[in-house]
Structure 1
Amino acid sequence: MRKLLMGMLAVALVGVLPARAADDAAIKEKAAVCAGCHGESGISQTENIPSLAGQPDQYIQWQLVFFRAGSRKNEQMQPIVEGLSNEDIRSLGAYFAALTPPKAPPQDDNPDLSKKGAQAAVGRRCASCHTDSFAGTKAVARIADQREEYLVKALHDYKSSKRVGGGQAVMADVAYPLSDEEIEALAHYLAHL
């Protein structure tokens, strides 16, 4: 009986492995489209474009859903996400979450600004959602080692209510009272963790 069960399991796996390999190839093909802006291995080299590597799975999924639904707007993203199925979105979330996140530059070129940013992070309780390491969790973004100018842009977009959708109301409340100097300091600090 055990040999029969093992044989059936082997036959079942043989049928699944080629399908899984095809799924992996399909998702890598879809992710390759993302690489044009978000960089090889999900690490952006383009100004104001976030790195996706290491972002929490659910965060990626929700952002793609918001773009697809039009509640989060971006001229480059809308045409790309229009054709994504729910399964594509789940697969892309898992794909980017599994990639190694970006690393901070080896040396902070402005430690005084980082100190001010750390104080702003504590004052705004950033760690209460983004975790103590700012690596994010579930549907909350990883902001540690993200591109500095992108973080500045995102905070300004939250502050002006240009960026909306999902739990973004919390971010608007957090960002609204930030001065331009605090935004610069906070972005610098987070980008150099």
Structure 2
Amino acid sequence: MSVAFTAASPAADLEAAKKKAEICAGCHGENGISQMENVPSLAGQPDQFLQWQLVFFRAGSRKSEQMQPIVEQIDNEDIRNLGAYFASLTPPKAPPDDNPDLSKKGAQAAVGRRCANCHGDSFAGTNAVARIAGQREEYLLKALHDYKTGVRSGGGMAAMADVAYPLSEEEITALAHYLSHF
């Protein structure tokens, strides 16, 4: 009997997460693909990465006026379920590149900053490291600025601060453009 229950649990968990994620759609978009400025798409993000971000928000080490009231209402099981749910969704497709020259500069900055070492060669993320390929460009700009200035903490903060701090404004712009179109 417990074998049957165990086999059914993942589907039940994803269904519970889908219902719980309805509140997320207001900002993070239908199927986890954001249409809102400075709000990341969650679809296709690595499960562990999503879980850690929710933990950081809930603990207050990562701050957001919009997220705070939501994370106060979720427990550890919700966090596990939401991580698995959003990870199971198809990530957003990168838009057509409207500035290949800027992307070329961004590609050079990515190689120079070792982005693929943590985010993977396809920038799809792994384990607790974010998927940055195809992420919203203005969100990537915001995230890089937040890491550079120390506004954002949690997770790979030390690695990201080390990478972002020396970036020039031109490199940040090029990198965000390149990754959003990757």
Indicate which of 148, 152, 155 corresponds to 2:144: 155
Q: Superposition pairs for residues 25-36 of structure 1, below 5 Å?
A: 25-36=15-26
Q: Give, as a single letter, the amino acid of the residue that structure 2 aligns with 1:48.
A: N
When the two structures are superposed, what TM-score results if normalisation uses the length of structure 1? 0.89
| 1:68-107 map, 5 Å | 68-105=58-95, 107=96
| Residue matched to 2:171 | 182
Q: CA deviation at 1:40?
A: 0.3
Answer yes or no: is the 8 Å Cα contact 2:14–2:85 preserved in 1: no
Change (3 A) 1:88 1:179: same
Post-superposition offset of 1:15: 9.6
User: Which residue type is aligned with residue 52 of structure 2?
Assistant: W
Letter in structure 2 aligned against 1:13: A
Identity, % of aligned positions:
77
CA shift, 1:26, in A, is 2.4
- Alpha carbons of structure 1 residues 21 and 187: separation in structure 2 relative to 1, 3 Å: closer
Deviation, 1:71, is: 0.2
Deviation at 1:167, TM superposition (A): 2.1
Checking the alignment, whether the CA contact within 8 Å between 2:109 and 2:171 is kept in structure 1 is yes
Check 1:153–1:20 CA distance in 2 against 1; reply closer, same or farther (3 A cut): closer
Measured on the aligned residues, the alpha-carbon RMSD in Å equals: 1.8
Contact kept, 8 Å, 2:57 with 2:63, in 1: the verdict is yes
Alignment of 1:127-146 (within 5 A): 127-146=116-135
Structure 1 stretches lacking a partner, 5+ long: 1-7
Matched, 1:38 2:41: no
Aligned length: 182
Larger Rg: 1
TM-score normalised to the size of structure 2? Answer: 0.94
Structure 1 distance, partners of 2:6, 2:120, is 41
